[in-house]
Amino acid sequence: MRRTTASLVAGALVASLAWASSPASPAVALEPSAGVADLTQDINQILSDSRLTIARAGVVVRSAANGEELYATDAGKLLTPASNTKLFTSAAAVETLGLDYRFPTTVLASGRKVGSVLTGDLVLRGTGDPTMLAADYDALAAKVAAAGVKVVTGKLVADDTWFDSVRLGNDWTWDDEPWYYAAQISALTASPDRDYDAGSVIVSVAADGGKVKVSTTPETDYLKIVNKATVGADTDVLIERQHSTNTVLITGTVADPYQEWVAVDDPTRYVASLFRKSLTKHGVRVLGPTGTGAAPSGAAKLAEHQSMPLSELLVPFLKLSNNIHAEILTKAMGRKVAGQGTWAAGLKVSTDFAKANGVQVINMRDGSGLSRRDGFSPGSIVQLLNAVRAKPWFKTWYDALPIAGNSDRFVGGTLRSRMGGTAAANNVHAKTGSLTGVTSLSGYVNSAEGEPLVFSVMLNQYLSGSPKDIEDKIAIRLAQFSRATAVDAVPQLRSTGETSGGDLECSWLKPAEC
């Protein structure tokens, strides 16, 4: 993770300490003050935007100090949350797995070692670590060589049985399959960079003389590159893996360097190819072919890599809204609680956690919110947000949420370009959510008087013109809220949308923009 200067995080730290020191409180009945009436009038005005005329909007605002409901419209309606689903997944994962949870990746010898010869199979066993890089598999191969193994007479076996073999969510759309944000889920996977977009490879193109040069990060021959692009005056290029294959077709024109994150088909075999290549590099010859299967009981451990703890993984997961982290954690929860690394088992853990914390209206179909059949009410999201404030892990989780107006990617995350220069900057800690026709923003903000507020804004079924600025106006208005005095006018924004792509889905954006 990047280090940030004190000036970047000072405001966020003050907000964090305030939230960490104020326990959750039950709702109490209070007479509405003039400030609350003013707030209600202003939010109603914000929601009167013509873009919402045919859309559905659910908004709930509650005081975390005394439980008072300050504003609500369609609080109990089931709406599509998009990545607000990750609030439930991440909270359940921390509660179930613990902040110290790590994913081990292990190399095992299933046969007998005689001198430098292993008479048996070499097994690479994964448990879902989304942070494994090609360099980490290379380090494991180096450890095998350091253990004195030079020849393996059997096979290289990739053991991904910690999770089931279902790679894609049941409700995910067919045309999402080639893209990094809908990469296949496996207990053995690899990321191309330290954003940890597991199960994907970065494909880069650049004009080289009169030809288009193609490279991959990491270097791999697992993908078959079909390069039909030409050098042109402008860069207008499409890099797309063909559905259900590992063939990447590149078409269009290239003037300036460009890159795309491409999901691989079958991450397990992709990882096995990386590991076999590293074994060869370090002087370890595997005579047999590559296969898959479970490691036999009693296999001896030769090397192991431990991931960062979940407390650290929460940062790229929540700040950058990583779908694959959400799904891996869902299956990891299922494995721990029910002994089954499946979506069904993991989603039961998440929904049981939510219900145990008072959440009523919830329909979880995946861990990330990529499914359009996910359904939550804004009232349920606020209930969860308020309930987890009493958890011992709350501060770590709260700090991992995107922070409005903070330009550092690993602080501001998906809110880094929103609400800058307003009362919400370095104040709002909230989770964004985006699908075509869907946007949501739910989290925490301190009022002008320092009162902690919990809010959820869910906007569905709008047809044109991203209404993310409506979310921002509400969040800024909450940051300006005072029980004692009225605010003169509905806040004017000094911010951009969630990403440079506005209302576009992540399939049209690079990971740095999502």
Give the chain's domains with CATH numbers: 21-100+311-446+456-513 (3.40.710.10), 104-162+275-306 (3.50.80.20), 200-263 (no CATH)
Tens of pLDDT, residue by residue over 368-427, are 999 999 999 999 999 999 999 999 999 999 999 999 999 999 999 999 999 999 999 999
Residue 47: pLDDT above 60? yes
Q: Under a CB-based contact definition with an 8 Å cutoff, are residues 87 and 431 in contact? A: yes
- Residue 507's pLDDT is 45
**Which has more confidence, 268 or 170?**
268
Q: Is the pLDDT of residue 496 over 50?
A: no
491 pLDDT band (50/70/90 cuts)? low
Residue 8 predicted with pLDDT over 90: no
What is each CA distance from 268 to 251, 292, 411, 481, in whole angstroms?
28, 8, 32, 51
More confident residue, 463 or 334: 334
- Tell me the C-alpha distance between 406 and 404, whole Å: 6
| Catalytic, out of 16, 110, 321, 417 | 321
DSSP state of 290: E
Note whether 427 and 404 are within 8 A (CB).
yes
Q: How confident is the model at residue 26 (pLDDT cuts 50, 70, 90)?
A: low
Predicted local confidence at residue 34, as pLDDT = 76
Q: Please compute the mean of the pLDDT values over residues 116-135 and round it to a whole number.
A: 98
Judge whether residue 9 has pLDDT over 60.
Answer: no
Average pLDDT over residues 84-88: 98
CA distance 330 to 343: 6
Least confident of 18-27, 68-77, 81-90, 284-293: 18-27
Respond yes or no: is residue 200 known to be catalytic. Answer: no
How far, in Å, CA of 183 to CA of 323, rounded? 9
Query: What is the pLDDT averaged over residues 21-36?
Result: 58
> What gap in Å lies between CA 258 and CA 205, rounded to an integer?
5
pLDDT of residue 511: 65
Using the predicted structure, report yes or no on whether residue 287 has a pLDDT greater than 50: yes
CA distances from 22 to 208, 409, 481 (A): 59, 27, 18
Band the pLDDT of 1: cuts 50, 70, 90: very low
Q: Which two tokens stand for residue 418?
A: 């929103």
Pairing of strands 230-231, 247-254: parallel
Q: Is position 21 annotated as part of the catalytic site?
A: no
Q: Please, what is the angle between helix 134-146 and helix 267-281, to 10°? A: 50
Cα separation values, 127 from 42, 124, 133, 379, 506, Å? 49, 10, 14, 35, 27
- Tokens at 320, concatenated: 């950058």
- For residue 353, what is the enclosing H or E element? helix 343-356
Distance of alpha carbon 201 from alpha carbon 358, whole angstroms: 41
Catalytic residue, from 83, 278, 434, 466: name it.
Answer: 83
Please give the single-letter amino acid code of residue 357.
N
Q: Is the pLDDT of residue 508 over 60?
A: no
Q: Percent of the chain scored above 70 by pLDDT?
A: 89
Q: What is the pLDDT of residues 328-337, one digit of tens each?
A: 999 999 999 9
* 503: pLDDT strictly greater than 60: no
The predicted structure's pLDDT at residue 498: 41
Annotated active-site residue 377? The verdict is no
Catalytic pick among 16, 63, 86, 431: 86
Res. 365: pLDDT tops 60: yes
In the predicted structure, residue 10 carries a pLDDT above the cut 70: no
Pull the structure tokens for residue 507. 């399939």
pLDDT exceeds cutoff 80 at 197: yes
CA angle at residue 173 from 170 to 179, to 5 degrees? 110
Structure tokens at 2: 């990047």
**Residue 33 confidence (pLDDT):** 74
In Å, what is the CA distance from 155 to each residue of 68, 119, 149, 281, 285?
A: 63, 10, 14, 17, 10
The mean pLDDT value of the chain amounts to 91
Determine which helix (DSSP H) or strand (DSSP E) holds 452, and give its type and residue range. Answer: strand 452-460
Of 55, 59, 57, 56, the closest CA to residue 72 belongs to 59
Give 286's pLDDT tier (boundaries 50, 70, 90): very high
